Amino acid sequence: MTRFTLLLCLLLSANLPAQAATVSRVEPENWWIGMKHRQVELLVHGDGIAALSPRLSHPGVRIVDVQATENPNYLFVTVDIGEDAAPGTFDLELLDGDTVAARHPWRIDAREPAPPRGFDASDAIYLVTPDRFANGDPGNDIVAGLKEAADRANPNGRHGGDIAGLRAHLDYIAGLGFTRLWPTPLLANDQPGYSYHGYAITDLYRIDPRFGSNDDYVALAREARAHGIGLIMDVVLNHIGSEHWWMHDLPSRDWINHGGRFAPNNHRRTTIQDPHAAPGDRAGFTDGWFVESMPDLNQRNPHLARYLIQNTLWWIESAGLAGIREDTFGYADADFLSAWAKAVMDEYPDFAMVGEEWSANPAIVAHWQRGKANASGHVPHMTSMMDFPVHIALRDALLRPKVWEGDWTPLYEALANDFLYPDPDALVVFAENHDSSRLLAHLDGDIHLWKLGMAYVATTRGLPQFYYGSEVLLRGPRERNDGELRADMPGGWAGDAANAFTGEGLSAQQRDAQDFVRRLFNWRKDTPTMHVGKLRHYAPVDGVYVYFRLDGDKAVMIALNRNDEDTALRLDRFADSLGRARAGTDALTGRRVALGDTLLLPAKTPLILELDTAP
């Protein structure tokens, strides 16, 4: 090549347009006009895009900040959405000089009517593991490109339950008396195995295709509302799955704790509140990985913190959610947890959120509830927490020997700790969940004790949570084994020998248990005293625990008899709660019950009496 030819090539190449770049993702994909959170930071990902300059042109929308990290494949672009913005789709352009090197569509929408109210003590929650509830669409059991296919014979594999199965049985859930539905996570979980449970998320903006689509999820929320059921989303802020797309190209070196390398969590949850805790122990709790397949997120990174906050707001607004259940709550950075919950409650003042703090110590759980004045200075904004102290005490009380400080005493004393909570009436009470053995297995199959436990959950303060399938006596192993306790719902798959939804093939014992749950929770739903009535309990005596729910001139008396024989209960001790009532109606049978000097309690049976109003 001559010197002239080389010079000519250089001159021509200088005038060529920049090589086109590709934007692989912009998250979130849209936002709304009129949100309090009006400045939205877009995570933009694509090869080498950090060298480009973003531009957009749409009335009322402008770019107010652009930041890059050490990874050249990311830009964080903050856009401001004014009140005068118009709904529509437009391009986010990335410029190399004056040339558009890449573009990606983005959208702003008009807001739907305000999401439904959150949840409170007037509600009852039905918890499901969607993969094990009902297979409404067998066509998505195997999805090309995803690592794990359905294998119903494998207790730890995917079984094929999906959103279509949930939608098909909303009338069943409502008919049992439940007003809120909490599915464990439905987001993408493209892990090589053990992916059915959903807690190792690989895409925070996408429903797993084996469950359905984002549109299917929105339809589930809409149809649930039509059945009087609000949808609660299970949110995971602490970690992601090891196959999350971030793990193949981290946005920054500090995106994942311990530099993206596995470091096991010490699970020392007391270190957050402990004034004497060593800094290393505290960091070992907040920064350690739950397991190797769940990389631990560093919410101290401001871009990640903003991403997680916006992701939660996006799902609430997209689906019209009625609540959030937040997984492994205390494991995340405490300052971030405060900022995240505040952002949600600022945007949706009538919303509700419940956090999982798996501790028997009520002081540890109370630390996180809104209104708690903490010595550490931490300001919480969670409306509710899962009541693990009562959960643990209830399971203990149902099996404890009848000795001094035996039988019901652990439960009675657990409630005495309610002074620690800013709002104990907002706590979520449960006998079992997806992480515990089922109550029936814990009680070695004793259905009478099981009914006592379920009656307690439905009648104590707070709002109850019930785990799917227990109404037809799904049992599972006594020692925790997740794949087996999260068993398939009978009738959720074509060809099942029994069907919980129709009653076909159920045993007499299963039908009785299902009817018990249906009567109990429908009665609770229709009885305002159980929603707002003050709880007054009496120290357990001789295997009997008595408490009242009192609301003005309305009163409900609950007597739980753990004895193997009928027990005569003297009533003079309860005169201050009984008032002048001389009779009541059994809430579960409708029979009239006279109140004299004594009340005969059937063996191992709950008695729930709606007392007559005194004249």
Q: In this structure, what CATH number is given to the domain that contains residue 43?
A: 2.60.40.10
What DSSP letter does each residue of 420-487 carry, written as one string? GSS-GGG-EEES--TTS--HHHHTTT-HHHHHHHHHHHHHSSSEEEEETTGGGT----SS--HHHHSP
Question: What confidence tens digit (pLDDT) does each residue in 507-525 have?
Answer: 999 999 999 999 999 999 9
Is residue 116 in some structural domain?
no
CA distance 261 to 264: 10
> Of the listed 216, 356, 432, 482, which one is catalytic?
356
Looking at 76, 109, 142, which one is the last position of a domain? 109
Q: Are 129 and 95 found together in one domain?
A: no
Q: Are 161 and 245 found together in one domain?
A: yes
Q: Are 92 and 153 found together in one domain?
A: no
Q: Please report which helix (H) or strand (E) contains residue 66, including its range.
A: strand 61-67
Is residue 193 in some structural domain?
yes
CA distance 115 to 107: 20
Looking at 472, 495, 526, which one is the last position of a domain? 526
CATH code assigned at 264: 3.20.20.80
Using a 10 angstrom Cβ sphere, with 0-12 exposed, 13-18 middle and 19 or more buried, the burial of residue 92 is buried
Is residue 305 in some structural domain?
yes
Count of C-beta atoms within a 10 Å radius of residue 583: 12
From the centroid of its chain, how far is CA 188?
Answer: 16
- Which residue type occupies 61? V
Task: For residue 561, report the phi and psi dihedrals to the nearest 5 degrees.
Answer: -105, 110
Count of C-beta atoms within a 10 Å radius of residue 261: 10
User: What is residue 369's DSSP assignment?
Assistant: B
Q: Are 540 and 454 found together in one domain?
A: no
Is residue 115 in some structural domain?
no
- Record the pTM: 0.95
Residue 223: its pLDDT value, please? 98
Number of domains comprising the chain:
3
Is residue 119 in some structural domain?
no
Q: Are 511 and 574 found together in one domain?
A: no
Is residue 302 in some structural domain?
yes
For the sheet with 74-81, list strands across it.
Answer: 25-27, 39-45, 74-81, 61-67
Q: Is 121 within 8 Å of 462 (Cβ atoms)?
A: yes
> Of the listed 208, 327, 432, 488, which one is catalytic?
327
Counted residue by residue, the chain has a size of 615
Residue 20: its pLDDT value, please? 67
User: What is residue 16's DSSP assignment?
Assistant: S
Three-state SS string over 174-239 comes to: HHCCCCEEEECCCEECCCCCCCCCCCCCCEEEEECCCCCCHHHHHHHHHHHHHCCCEEEEEECCCE
Q: Is 437 within 8 Å of 383 (Cβ atoms)?
A: no
CA distance 519 to 527: 12
Cα radius of gyration rounded to whole Å, the chain = 28
Q: Are 160 and 305 found together in one domain?
A: yes
CA distance 37 to 344: 9
User: What is residue 131's DSSP assignment?
Assistant: G
Task: For residue 41, report the phi and psi dihedrals to the nearest 5 degrees.
Answer: -95, 115
For Cα atoms 431, 433, 438, give the angle at the middle one, nearest 5 degrees. 70
- For tokens 């990640």, name the residue: 304
CA torsion sign for 439, 440, 442, 446 is positive
Q: Are 453 and 544 found together in one domain?
A: no
Cis peptide before 59 (omega within 30 of 0): no
Specify whether 356 is catalytic: yes
Which stretches in the chain have pLDDT values below 70?
Answer: 1-20, 404-405, 614-615
CA distance 281 to 288: 10
Q: Is 297 within 8 Å of 286 (Cβ atoms)?
A: no
Q: Are 460 and 605 found together in one domain?
A: no
Residues 6+ apart with CB under 8 A from 274: 282
CATH code assigned at 582: 2.60.40.1180
Q: Please report which helix (H) or strand (E) contains residue 610, including its range.
A: strand 605-611
Residue 404: its pLDDT value, please? 67
Q: How far apart are the first and last CA of the chain?
A: 111
Looking at 526, 549, 571, which one is the last position of a domain? 526
Is residue 234 in some structural domain?
yes
Q: Are 54 and 176 found together in one domain?
A: no
Tell me the two tokens of residue 445.
Answer: 């199959």
CA torsion sign for 70, 71, 72, 73 is negative
CA distance 131 to 186: 9
Question: What confidence tens digit (pLDDT) does each residue in 257-286 have?
Answer: 999 999 999 999 999 999 999 999 999 999
- Which residue type occupies 233? M
Q: Are 495 and 393 found together in one domain?
A: yes
CA distance 498 to 350: 41
Residues 6+ apart with CB under 8 A from 605: 448, 451, 452, 561
- Which residue type occupies 99? T
Specify whether 243 is catalytic: no
Strands (E), 502-570: 534-541, 544-551, 554-561, 567-570
Structural domain of residue 543, as residue ranges?
Answer: 534-611
Is residue 275 in some structural domain?
yes
CA distance 9 to 32: 49
Count of C-beta atoms within a 10 Å radius of residue 219: 16
CA distance 334 to 236: 15
- For tokens 């129709």, name the residue: 502
Q: Are 263 and 239 found together in one domain?
A: yes
Q: Are 428 and 555 found together in one domain?
A: no
Residues paired with 567 in a beta bridge? 601
